[in-house]
Chain A
């Protein structure tokens, strides 16, 4: 279980982004975190991964205090994080990056398994460099693939839908549903997408740097769909897709 207690974080300018946030994420569940843009979702994910260090508060993983563990240590303890805005690397191939993520050398069949989950054909991609020649959608899928390759206890996806076309999005939903069915660990997906909200076990709403609401998905969906603020965000995103 992942537990965040009273987490606060201010941006370098002093503006409070997370303001005493409490969150418990049970094992073996798919938890979707949603909420308005700028509400602090990405910041929360970065705090969990250790990329940002909270000003105050505590983080527990399996009852162990990991508050002072750095990014590398948390990664090794089983936390994975797919960036909302993936990073590009000149000279590093897709194959190499996925191998670095999985920690093993991989044959073409294994690479194909992982890349096909994100709608990419391994043959076309494994030797491409993860640089600016990849489109926004391509780099986003490769980012997701690096995290799938790790198979850790906790996996966080930050807006996986962003920049992905409708067809690949459907296959991505399948991947998430399948992961949910065979869930060994915990899946945290930050998303505005109704189709992702629909496959959640639990939904948490983050706004103004706090958890505004949290509960079982079916209950939460009813309130969310009636709440103007969130449903506007959802429907806009759906149209943009």
Chain B
């Protein structure tokens, strides 16, 4: 494994020389290490690049890590990873992607993840994306996530991309059966000329299913972000989405939330707020002795935490 991969791994995952639990490390489109556990089996996917991850029913408290790293320009990595989570399992999945370039050539990672959650299963999904290096080549990460949530299953997605990635298109789709819950926390910071677009489409198909989608973003310099969420309530269900964005300098944010209530007992709410940092917040922190710049950094840091 390359030194650069190790650096990226430390940033995007819990790697500290090794992983706890099952893992697969993807380095420039190749496998740089894989370990399955008794309950979590990682195998190659047939016919397409990528993995099948089978988590046995009733697996509790285990973690599986599947980081992907691109360490130089000229790589365009496409991968399909399918997760099959057995009934009553309760696990953590750590994904994440780091891209490093020192040249003018573009580097891209496009991870297509599918999650099939069995009845009563619970998954915590952590995904951190970073871009590093001084290369001028365009660094892009385009994740596609599709999730099928079986009855009473819970998927908690925590995703973060705090700068460094030039171009991102994120696409997340989920379908929920009765009693299933989806919680999404997304944080994105763009700066310079970066762009990030995020799309969510959630279908609440079962009785008492629910989604809570919270997106926080900061667009600085000349960067631009787009947010589009679609929540469709086809059953008695609850849906809540919240898009909060801070813009600074010439940053631009376009937010378009959509709610579709197709059942009389669908209760859907959207909240959105876009604007500069509130002047009062800066004043308060300055009265604690911070400079204006320190105050802004503190506010953004907290907002994206």
Q: Which residues of A contact B (CB under 8 A)?
A: 49, 51, 70-72, 75-76, 79-81, 83, 86-87, 89-92, 96, 100-101, 103, 146, 150
Contacts and interface: CB of A to CB of B under 8 A. Distances in A.
Nearest to A96: B302
A101 B302 contact: no
A103 B285 CA distance: 12
A115 to B, nearest CB: 17
Interface in B286-305: 286-292, 298-299, 301-305
Nearest to B246: A90
Contact of A91 (B286, B292, B304): B304
B287 A49 contact: yes
B114 interface: no
24 contacts: A51-B283, A51-B287, A70-B286, A71-B283, A72-B289, A72-B291, A75-B287, A75-B290, A76-B289, A79-B287, A81-B287, A87-B278, A89-B303, A90-B244, A90-B303, A91-B216, A91-B301, A91-B303, A92-B298, A92-B305, A96-B302, A100-B288, A100-B298, A150-B289
A91 B305 contact: yes
A50 to B, nearest CB: 8
A68 to B, nearest CB: 16
B216 A72 contact: no
Contacts of A72: 286, 289-292
Interface of B: 216, 244, 278, 280-281, 283-292, 298-299, 301-305
Contacts of A86: 284
Given A72-B286, A72-B289, A87 B281 contact: yes
Contact of B281 (A71, A89, A96): A89
A26 B302 CA distance: 39
A96 to B, nearest CB: 7
Contact of B288 (A51, A90, A91, A150): A150
Nearest to A80: B287
B216 A75 contact: no
Given A72-B289, A76-B289, A103-B289, A83 B302 contact: no
A23 B186 CA distance: 51
A188 to B, nearest CB: 14
B291 A91 contact: no
Contacts of B283: 51, 71, 87
A72 B284 CA distance: 10
Given A72-B291, A92-B302, A87 B280 contact: yes
A74 B290 CA distance: 11
Contacts of B303: 89-91
Contacts of B278: 87
B289 A87 contact: no
A211 to B, nearest CB: 24
Q: Which of B280, B298, B302 has the most CB of A within 10 A?
A: B302
A146 B288 contact: yes
A97 to B, nearest CB: 8
Contacts of A79: 287
